[in-house]
Structure 1
Amino acid sequence: MRPLSTSRGCKRGGAYKSGMMHLLVLLALTLSCHCCPDRCLCSSQTVKCQNQDLDAIPSSFPTTTKIIFVTGNNISYINKDSFPIRLDMLTDLYLSGNELESVGAMVFENLPNLVRLDLSNNNIQAFSERALPVENTLQVLNLSRSFHNHSCMDAVLSVLQSGNLLMLKVLDLSNNDLVILPDDAFSSLSNLVNISLQNSTIISVLNGTLKVPPLRDLDLRDNSLRVLPTTTLAEFSLKPDLSLWLAGNPWRCDCFIEEMLLWLKNSTQVMDSQNLTCASPEALRHQPLLQVELSQLKCLGEMEGVLETSYVFLGLVLALIGVIFLLVLYLNRKGIKRWIYNIRDACRDHMEGYHYRYEINSDPRLANLSINSDV
């Protein structure tokens, strides 16, 4: 009977040890899923890794995290390895001010329920079209102050046109070097209601650029707009609920702005219409657009600008010719010096001959000698 008892005891001991091992493994997994990353602060379901001079995204976030702040660091790139753990509860991700240069493919693949993404204040030069999963829930995208080169915007525009951001409602592209937006830049964003394009050096809004049915807020302040085309004004008029901000642009108050001026005085869509002022011509500078009369709009401003540009160009050409002339003189200085000396010697010999003849003609005795010598 004792051997049987010993066998049962061994089995019980083995089962006990096995259970303890499973418990330890589960405990380790639980701790690994709920621990706070190094150099970060965790409170409730929010993780903050701010201004810690990090060079990479922390690899272990609690699986219950809803909001992550990784801002003010030195993270030059993010890729699919930046978020290795699936975070189903994460809704807000803030990655501003990290000097980001590259956003790789599938970087947000493990963040399926992301609603707000902030990539502002970076220096993004490469943005993969596959950075976001095909099926995503992103509603707010902040790309302000992230692209300092116009050529880098092509990849981002491709992402916007991909058709994967069907739930996007708010888009911030302010303080970027956009210049000109393609006709269909926002055509795939069927739920977009708010666009900020402030201070993006935009020189024109093309027809069809803003064909977004639910659009309600459009910020075009502090750009380089001089006049809005009639077709663009017609698009705005088709959206009676649209609110516009247009202040801070160098409006050119000449005959080409007549249609816009009439629209502005009869529209209630421009929220800052009182702050719109003329930048040219000089006679109307700083005058509010709403106070400009149609009789004051002249077409001379365009010609004056052309003439001014022509004079500047002519001055540059003349200056270039002068520089080339001086350069030629400098390179041929020895030959020119020799040529001047030869001319001087020739002139001296010639003048000495004249001087000798003058002396002979002025002295009768020398004149007689000259006659006798001739005889």
Structure 2
Amino acid sequence: MVILKWHFNMGCLMLVLLMMIARKVNTMAQCPDSCTCLLPQQHIFCSNASLTSPPSQLNNNTVELHLQHNHFVVLHPRFIQDLPQLRSLHLSNCNISTIQSDAFVEVTSIHYLYLDSNQLSSFEDGAFNNLTSLIYLQLSKNKITYIQPGLFADLTELSNLHLSHNMLYELADQTLAGVTGLHWLDLGYNFISNISSNSFKDMVYLRRLNLEMNNLSSIPLSLSSIRGLQMLRLSGNNIKRVSAGSTGRRLRFLTELYLDGVGLETVSPLSFSKLRRLEVLDLRNNSLQNLPISRLKAFTKMYLTGNPWRCDCSIIKLHTRLAGRKEKDPEQQVLCQSPKALEGKNLISVHLDLLTCPGFGEASVNTATPVFPDGSRITQPPIITMAATSKTTMAFKTSTTKQLFQSTTLANEVDVDLRDPCLSDHISDVSVAALGQESLIVSWSVSGYYNQFQVRYSAGDEESTLDVIGELRQVQLYHLHADTNYIVCIIPQSIDIFKCHDPKPMQCEYGKTNSALEQPQQVYSPSKTTPSPFVTTGVSVAVVVLVAAVVFIAYTLRSHKINFQRYYNEEEADRVGKQTSDPYKLYCTDDNTEDDRQMYVTAASLWGMDNDKYDCNLAEPVSLSSVANYASL
């Protein structure tokens, strides 16, 4: 009995061993020579196998096939056998120079196709036929010079297209026809100098566009057709100027804009006014001397190193913004290159008193027509509105050596005794006129680029000052004494203003406020001509008719009872239904209106930042007013 049991156990053991051996033999038969197979995952690796054609008799359940670093010069029709489960095909570094028509017609199920680092220069028509499930196409690091229209027409599901490090010189109208579902387009490191106006037509889902290291001389106007673009990289091009027209209203959804290393010299004040969601602005390694930031959102993170910044009055707002940031990122630092006295200093470490025009430490100023940072010139002083002033007083001694201001020692002070600290040669046409018992209006002209002034006005032993910043050439002084003579002097702001004790007569003028019994001077007086009797009669008749009409209307309204009926559109209420709010809210642009439209999508319909597909042309939901409408019966 024991012997029989032992023989039975041995027989079972032998049977198990035979089954394992048979399974091993079957496994070895399924994996091609020179390849490594991961059968549980259905991945086959045939890299660096010196293959000139794909291995035959591949398992039909293969999901991922790696054939990189082999030698496939030409991909002929039906290059790969029918593999219905294949999702990823890797053909990088295979010396491929030609892809013939219908090369992938047997593998229509693939989602990822890698053809980078080959010798491709052009494509035959139909090279990507039937790849209707492809979502990722990698064609970087080839020698592609031309893409014929319609090449990607069958790639209706394509989401990512990479064409960087090729030899493209332009983008024609139909180059990208058919790939309307793109989320990411990489065209960096080419020679593109021309992009046609319809290159990105119908690309409503494009979110990330890379055009770095090309030959573009401006931000392409064709980008205005991309409604929801969020990242734009233009680094390394040749863009000298950016204006409001460069960005436009259609790019207002940008969150990242890269303009580093483009040789940028000028940024107009309204360049970024429409970019209300901009989070990253990269302006490193350009030729910027100043940057208008008044329209730039407070949350925008700027990268500014590598520019020849001129630290004068034109950069005060940037100084204030950087100084107020808690984090001190080295890439956001601004190092002064001029004037000479501030060269090499970090802008936020420079005291505001040193940010003057002309620059601190400069011994001379430009007396030519003023030129603003955006390149515009002024031919005459601008006419501006009045500016209210607050009254401040200080003690005043009548001696010839009176001290008006307490001087403070400033860092990097230079000897400028050779020039007039009051800069009197740059002020002319000072005018003072009374506007009432307690106010004077003061105007002046200036030569040279000065936009900061100190207005000193005194009467007897009392002196007050008013600091003016900007292009003001006319101010109004308030809270003055009636019937009092004032002397008003205009001094351009400079580092030596505390040395200006005796302004020159050419920059001062006398004025007197009106007395309590004196009325303000009238600029225009009414005509004293006696009106015609016919005119008087006509006016009288018109007044009588108007009064009669008013009485009649009042009587009519009083004699009739006005009824109202509550109006409620039940059909509209049934059609709209109850709407609930959703935390996932996206903003889209309507071409026919100036206002933002809103679209609401559910969390289930979102698939990552780069893979979300939503239509900005969806009709807006009709909301039911919470206030009842009334119709008059």
Aligned partner of 1:194 in structure 2 is 184
Paired residue for 2:166?
176
- Which residue number in structure 1 is paired with residue 460 of structure 2? none
What is the alpha-carbon distance in structure 2 between the residues aligned to residue 74 and residue 177 of structure 1?
23
User: Take 1:298 and 1:285, find their aligned partners in 2: how far apart are those partners?
Assistant: 21
* Candidates 141, 147, 152, aligned match of 1:154: 147
TM-score with structure 1 length normalisation? 0.60
Residue 276 of structure 1, CA deviation: 5.3
- Change in 2 beyond 3 A, CA 1:38/1:213: same
Task: Output aligned runs, 1:347-366, within 5 Å.
Answer: none
Contact 1:166 1:188 in 2 (8 A): yes
Other-structure match for 1:43: 38
Q: Given that residues 117 and 142 in structure 1 are in contact (C-alpha distance below 8 angstroms), is that contact kept between their aligned partners in structure 2?
A: yes
Shift of 1:245: 1.4
| 2:199 equivalent in structure 1 | 209
Quick one: which of 47, 52, 61 aligns to 1:55?
Answer: 52
Instruction: Please state whether the residue corresponding to 2:45 is helix, strand or coil.
Output: strand
Do residues 99 (structure 1) and 92 (structure 2) align? no
Residue identity in the other structure for 1:252 = K
Deviations 1:113-155 (A, max 9, x none): 1111111111114523223333621111111112x252xx234
Partner of 1:115: 111
- 5 Å-filtered alignment, 1:324-343, equals none
Is 1:243 paired with 2:256?
Answer: no
| TM-score, scaled to structure 2 | 0.37
In structure 2, the CA distance between the partners of 1:252 and 1:210, relative to structure 1 (3 Å rule), is same
- 1:186 is displaced (CA, Å) by 2.1
- Does the 8 A contact of 2:212 with 2:234 survive in 1? yes
- Kindly state the Cα deviation for residue 105 of structure 1 after the two structures are TM-superposed: 1.9
| Amino acid paired to 1:70 | L
CA contact (8 A) 1:33 1:60 kept: no
What code does the residue aligned with 2:107 have?
L
Give the % identical residues: 21
Distance 1:124 1:285, change over 3 A: closer
Structure 1 position 133 matched with structure 2 position 121: no
Distance 1:99 1:77 in 2: 9
Aligned AA (1:182): A
For the residue of structure 1 that corresponds to 2:66, the secondary structure is: strand
Partner of 1:303: none
Report the structure, 1 or 2, having the larger strand content.
2
Partner of 1:220: 211
CA shift digits 1:237-272 (9 cap, x unpaired):
xx234321122212223xxx43456759x9561624
Contiguous gaps of at least 5 residues in structure 1: 1-26, 300-375
Evaluate the alpha carbon distance shift between residue 287 and residue 164 of structure 1 in structure 2; reply closer, same or farther with a 3 A threshold. same
Deviations 1:37-86 (A, max 9, x none): 22111113111111222222222321111001111122211113532x31
CA offsets, 1:145-177, max 9 Å, x none? 12x252xx234x4312xx311111111111111
3-state DSSP of counterpart to 1:248: coil
Matches within 5 A, 1:316-327: none
CA deviation digits over 1:308-344, x for unaligned, max 9? Answer: xxxxxxxxxxxxxxxxxxxxxxxxxxxxxxxxxxxxx
Decide which moves more: 46-55 or 110-119: 46-55
Matched position secondary structure for 1:141: strand
Displacement after TM superposition at 1:201 (Å):
1.3
- TM-align CA RMSD: 3.3
String of CA shifts for 1:283-311, please: whole Å, max 9, x gaps. Answer: x9823598379944569xxxxxxxxxxxx
**Distance of 2:375 and 2:48 partners within structure 1:** 55
Mark the CA change 1:42 to 1:32 in structure 2 (over 3 Å): closer, same or farther.
closer
Displacement of 1:109 in angstroms is: 1.6
Match of 2:156 in 1: 166
